[in-house]
Amino acid sequence: MMPTQLTIWHNPRCSKSRQTLALLQDHGHQPSVRLYLTDTPTEAEVIAIRNALGVTADAMMRKGEKRFKELGLATASEA
């Protein structure tokens, strides 16, 4: 069986993202790094990830972010 390519959607300014990348590397993984702020995922990619994780879009949101509040996403539909 061929190994699965591991990709991290990474933000180097985010401490949790840096910690996650370091944890993967510390355990011998060399993931492909996608800087999602400059290489924005498509809607189809986000939906595919959401489906693979088996979570709602809401569960993928950073609810404490200013932009989340500005857009009023707390009451947004799944679509």
Q: Which of 6, 12, 14, 47 is catalytic?
A: 14
Degrees, nearest 5: CA angle 39-41-72:
110
pLDDT at 1: 52
pLDDT at 75: 86
> Is residue 14 annotated as a catalytic residue, yes or no?
yes
pLDDT at 8 over 80: yes
pTM of the shown model: 0.76
- pLDDT, one tens digit per residue, over 16-71 is 999 999 999 999 999 999 999 999 999 999 999 999 999 998 898 889 889 989 99
DSSP tag of 6: P
The set of residues, in sequence order, having a beta carbon less than 8 Å from that of 57 and lying 6+ positions away, is 46, 50, 78
